[in-house]
Structure 1
């Protein structure tokens, strides 16, 4: 109510007397907290001199590391994979993508038998298994049979004291597919052991204890890469006995150089957001442009993905505004008009029927679509912009269904909810925006593939929906929101809140297995496209790992400061 009075919504101004009061009182206002950043980043800029300094330093360090990578191939598959893993954890593997792929392919084709011969080296076997599977190579899970007691069927007693090996096994177990019970057992066993180590950390080296604590919160395979690399650089710096100073310096230089690029991009999208005028017009909505750009860098941080980051940030901002309009502002009558406007995008008469606030938002959406279409026309890829607009139409239909469920006080079955929840997750639009910036990797054949509703796309959207619901359902129900997956499961199964959440977490585990399976070679599309879905789920996991940190954005402030603002001391 206070928001409307302060902002004097144009929709409210169009009514008079009792009608106006009735409209205001019927709005499901959420009173979202304001931005913790304001507009401070619109004037942010990086010094060209500093950029050039880092560019030269990175190139010099890169040449040294490139020689290290080539030399490691002669040291055997384990040393080779160990270095590749370090490059990935430090966030610099994108510099050597071709070399890494060539080396891993040879290891899988020629040296896989070496894995099973190292029967007493749980660390190395687990590491090679994980790295190869992360690159799509279907390493059989029976490589872990040697670490189980034949008589008891449990993991051997001798491996329990191998803290490093147990941590490596734990990380590897998250690459499991459907029908791999040994990896389910490995996960349960390793998690229990790590929790015991963590509770008695006085006996564990400090840097290893930090690794364990972080892995128990979120394993590497499920971690947002940019955030994980920032954290891992700190871990690696503490490994005084084993760290390589050349690698460490390269990682720090590259992080800072890429951060400067990100700062320029953040300033650009901040100015775009300010210039739309939407912040002042839609006072009921979440002002989260900084968080959305952080989201984009957390998943697609590499310098060459700049177009994808910008497009994703802009479209995600539109998604957020439209979501808040459906959830926290519009009346049922207005929302029906809003949905019709999306369905008839080019029909001016449909737009003119909208209240002023929604009309202002919708025209901003159309301008964004036109802007993207013009940019893509220059590349001969207009179809990518058209796909984004079509994805938004599907999203609006899903939001409309949720609004009707709320208006009718209807709780759908879990099956009904999932059918609508997959498009309402919004990740169809977010992916479409990223695809705009992926160039030739997303050609007409890839878009035809998307039309088949591939499992990896469905699993990504499902995880986006369910992870959100697990963390946000309590707050949403307090302010009046359509039923989440939790409420649907509770009603259908007569379950408690805790039982419903556990059941939904099991659905998430199964969706991750689907993702892992879809990443195994041969894949129907190129690996950069497959990698997109994984990275999108990883940043979703981070955003919702403890709470809904997009809505409660204060919980992201320290991470945003570390990733986007504070350089790492060299």
Structure 2
């Protein structure tokens, strides 16, 4: 059981699990049956039990947290064999399992998270990390919980730190062969470099598109192809999702430029003209353009949307331009309301603010349009159905409120409305109390979102649900220090280079990439 679980985990960490999805679910089905049968091989070993809980839950299996009840108290570790051995691997797996929190009340997971994190910190400080575990891995997991990780950054880190013979297959009695590990590393390395070649072609396309749409002539607009491509590649990394990444990147640049028009330079007449143009859509020539920058920006939105819609129609087997136009109209109306609040000094209620602030975070044009190019068909009744709506709502809540927590001081000085000061008014002026409330709302929505994403069945196809969760993770990562990484992009530049441009840093002679051609067979052999 341990070997099977560790192999699944390794393939996912290395970014190559999609090559073995059938074998992975076959093994997880078997392990789920053993879990239901209360198999001692799983339930009596702390590491195996914690890893099984995490992987099964994340892959949609119905696993209640009571399965970890035997490890809910710190004493359970100290009294175990793992505790006597000061086993960092067991602690680390328990801590990671405790983060897969999907129900509103799961005190078992909360207890495990609290004491396991504290013990891991103590081991780090006292230099008592088990020899089989890299201290840097412990530091990384404590710094970035699973809901604040970006897939392609994690893959790169794991590939670079993977050492055949002392790899993630931690228990020495259960190691796979050195040759198989080398082939896994070869496949992961080859896949990473191949995808980078695709990303670099996409970057060239985006830079050409910026010039074609004349967005580089809009001096007020933040137009950053590299940043937007990184955000899409880190959440939709497979090479075959190129069209979805490009749509994501273009719409991120467009929504940012529109936001800058509303926030920075636009006169009321320009903004009203832009909204009318969006609402009229195909009949926009009847309206006319108030200014050259309004014309430039509208034509970029309109022409790009029609181009994306044509590609989406081939995937969806229906015309989706109507929905795309709706998403843009909803966004600019919300932005206009926020602009009117800023201009007039009016302070809305929290409820009124959230009705406007959720669509104004711009995930409609960015996320919803990209979903049409992910692969599975999304019929109109699914897109307008309850499950899709809830997935988007909770993603919007996490995105908006994490943004608000990071930017409320700056936005307050600019006269903008933000949820933190709004809630502070209700809490006797206490910013600290408002921050706690906002963080609690984010945590609740994050759990509900993961519950929707992780379940096996749903009206929204699983690959599409996964993108909602990946967006939530990206938002948490970009704002993990309480800073707006998009506005202060130093870290984004470094991360973007790591995903898109910089080759992997592997020790000389570590692997022979020609072995990659046999790596899939090696991975299947390890899973069998």
Deviation at 1:366, TM superposition (A): 0.8
TM-score normalised by length of structure 1? 0.80
1:85-484 paired onto structure 2 within 5 Å: 85-114=9-38, 118-148=42-72, 155-158=76-79, 161-176=86-101, 177-201=103-127, 203=129, 205=131, 208-237=134-163, 240=166, 244-280=181-217, 282-348=218-284, 351-379=287-315, 381-449=317-385, 454-478=389-413, 480-484=414-418
Contact map agreement 2:148 2:475 (CA 8 A) in 1: no
Flag the 1:111–1:125 CA change in 2: closer, same or farther, 3 A.
closer
Q: Deviation at 1:500?
A: 2.2
Per-residue Cα deviation, 1:351-370 (whole angstroms, up to 9, x for no partner): 42432211210111111122
What is the aligned residue count? 488
Is the Cα–Cα contact under 8 Å of residues 460 and 537 in structure 1 kept in the other structure? yes
Q: 1:115 to 1:423 in 2, by over 3 A?
A: farther
* Offset, 1:249: 2.3
- TM-score scaled by length of structure 2: 0.86
> What secondary structure is seen at the aligned counterpart in 2 of 1:439?
coil
RMSD over aligned Cα, in angstroms?
A: 2.4
Match of 1:533 in 2: 468
Instruction: Give how far 1:202 is off.
Output: 6.0
Deviation at residue 180 of structure 1 after TM alignment: 1.4
1:168-219 residue CA offsets vs partner (Å, 9 max, x unmatched): 1111112112221111112222222222233334655495311111112212
| Cα pair 1:413 1:492 within 8 Å, conserved | no
C-alpha displacement of 1:488 = 1.4
What are structure 2's unaligned runs of at least 5 residues? 170-180, 512-528
**Structure 1: 5+ residue stretches without partners:** 1-76
Spell out structure 1 runs of 4+ moving beyond 6 A.
none
Distance in structure 1 (CA, Å) of the matches to 2:267 and 2:127:
55
Query: What does residue 488 of structure 1 align with?
Result: 422
Give the direction of change, closer, same or farther, for the CA distance of 1:154–1:428 in structure 2 (3 Å limit): farther
Shift of 1:403: 0.9
User: Which whole-Å CA distance do the structure 1 matches of 2:485 and 2:165 have between them?
Assistant: 31
Indicate if the aligned counterparts of 2:315 and 2:377 stay in contact, CA closer than 8 A. Answer: no
Q: Is the 8 A contact 1:294 1:560 kept in 2?
A: yes
Residue aligned with 1:136, SS: coil
Distance 1:404 1:297, change over 3 A: same
Measure the CA separation in 1 of the matches of 2:322 and 2:389. 19
How far off is 1:129 after superposition?
0.5
Secondary structure of the residue aligned to 2:166 is coil
